[in-house]
Structure 1
Amino acid sequence: MPPTTLQAVLFDMDGTLLATEQYWDEALAELAAGWGGAVSAAALASTAGVDLDGAMEIVRRDVGVQRTPAQARQDAEWVLGRVTALMARSVTWQPGARELLTECLASGVRTALVTTTYRPLVELVLGHLRADLGTEPFEVTVCGDEVPALKPDPAPYLQALAALGLSAAECVVVEDSHTGSRAGLAAGCRVLVVPHGQELPSTPGLTVGDTLVGIGVADLAGLADPAVV
């Protein structure tokens, strides 16, 4: 059975469209250094797609420190402030991401941004993208502070589907992490993932790629439907 005609592409942000994951890594590494420790590359890689509280818990375990709830809140505020300062300067596209997004916009395929990052920071990033593209890049944006549950729960992608008025079979999710891929698959979508330092298990409906370079709308439209694999 051929896949349903592609109507929309739902993009993750950090690490997928943009090389902003490095800003979170930089801030978390600086946070660990402030505790007098050093976080491992493996621990940082495992924070991909994870919300800030979860990422800080990974770093705390890796470094071997304990923080009170009040200290954890202060840490979160510091990390958000640091990442905001870094993103305010500039953001960089992941290889092939700008070309894929602009092809979607030019061909009439609808677009959505579905991210764990909170709205204020997302709006900062969207300002950069609007200036670069000269247009509104996404019809729908769903942020981490606007959903009842975060990835890997399907709630963010289900919310985007509802806002678009489309079924999961009409959409493809583009992600960079195991956490995000699980969310997209759980929502019933086909998923293309370009992971960074993570190994993903073979799963129906999931296509693992090395890069977005050379990936176009036709490639996304041809991905296997998880319901028929």
Structure 2
Amino acid sequence: MNAILRALIFDVDGTLADTEETHRRAFNASFAAAELPWWWSRRVYRELLRVAGGRERMRAYAQASSDGLAERGDFELLLRRLHEDKTRRYDALLRAQPLPLRPGITRLFDEAGAAGVRLALATTTSAANLDALLAPHFGAAWRERFAAVVCGGDVARLKPAPDAYLQALRRLGFGADEALAFEDSANGIRAAQAAGLGVVATPTWYSLAEPLPAALVVLPHLGDAVTPLPPEEPGAPFVDLAHLRSWHAAQAGSAPPRRAAACC
């Protein structure tokens, strides 16, 4: 007998909102303020997103660079200060001009809440970044919507390691067969699948620097009344709990839903 779908676990950056351009702007502003010879174009940052975590991303960039910054004795301190400054700038950007959530996110949150399906977040981003993104939409008490919130600072290993998803499942008190994950990136899909979860993928341009692993279904977004899914997509005009329950059940069988072409 198939397990019942009891929880939906969402990644944040790229999945709840297309945040990466705002992150990129905040990084570049921090580099300029520190008088570093770094500037990340959209395509450079797209490649860097293969590395999970902002500080890890900067470390990888410095180690691949010939500017010698990675050899400084205070390099780790520099990374910490840059990341703290970048977080403050990202927070200020989002509070000055909140980013819209991707189509279908708020609708599905409301539907799940009304049906008693628990919501959780499993992300490599910081708690401060979460607050900056979600408070403008759901108020200061936004955490009350979620039965579990796992941030990058809560786990020893970032995605593609499964730690964030395993921690979310532990806090929920559910098995992987009782939940679905929502992701936008290759690292995120690998992390969720390593935790035993089926994945609904909604990539953006930024998350397509590399091919995505196979997921239950890949969609341009989840769809809503204002921005419906194209009629040829699974779940059109919008993904609801009935679709999710069907896909969740199908992953235990032999006929998963059709995998749509990735967007962008």
Tell me the TM-score normalised to structure 1 length. 0.85
Q: For 1:135 and 1:148, how far apart are their aligned partners in 2?
A: 22
Q: Alpha carbons of 1:121 and 1:41: their partners in 2 closer, same or farther (altered >3 Å)?
A: closer
Tell me the SS of whatever aligns to 2:121: strand
- Aligned equivalent of 2:231: none
- Aligned equivalent of 1:187: 195
Residues 1:212 and 2:219 are matched in the alignment: no
1:109-168 Cα deviation digits (max 9, x unpaired): 110011111223323444333239989321111111111221111111001101111110
- Aligned equivalent of 2:88: 81
Q: For 2:252 and 2:24, how far apart are their aligned partners in 1?
A: 32
Tell me the SS of whatever aligns to 2:9: strand
- Aligned equivalent of 2:47: 46
Tell me the SS of whatever aligns to 2:153: coil
Q: For 2:128 and 2:160, how far apart are their aligned partners in 1?
A: 22
Could you tell me which runs of 5 or more consecutive residues in structure 1 were left unpaired when the two chains were aligned.
none
Q: For 1:149 and 1:109, how far apart are their aligned partners in 2?
A: 28
Q: Percent identity?
A: 31
Higher relative contact order (CA 8 A, sep 6+): 1
Note the 1:33-72 alignment, pairs <5 A: 34-48=35-49, 50-60=52-62, 65-67=67-69, 68=72, 69=75, 70-72=77-79
Tell me the SS of whatever aligns to 2:154: coil
Contact kept? 2:135, 2:142, Cα under 8 Å? no
Could you tell me which runs of 5 or more consecutive residues in structure 2 were left unpaired when the two chains were aligned.
224-237, 257-264
Contact kept? 2:87, 2:128, Cα under 8 Å? no
Q: Alpha carbons of 1:35 and 1:135: their partners in 2 closer, same or farther (altered >3 Å)?
A: closer
Tell me the TM-score normalised to structure 2 length. 0.74
Q: Alpha carbons of 1:135 and 1:13: their partners in 2 closer, same or farther (altered >3 Å)?
A: closer
1:46-86 Cα deviation digits (max 9, x unpaired): 34472012222354467754423133233222211211211
Tell me the SS of whatever aligns to 2:182: strand
Q: For 1:63 and 1:192, how far apart are their aligned partners in 2?
A: 36
The amino acid that maps onto 2:6 is: Q
- Aligned equivalent of 1:225: 251
Q: For 1:27 and 1:76, how far apart are their aligned partners in 2?
A: 10
1:81-124 Cα deviation digits (max 9, x unpaired): 21121123323211222222222112221100111112233234
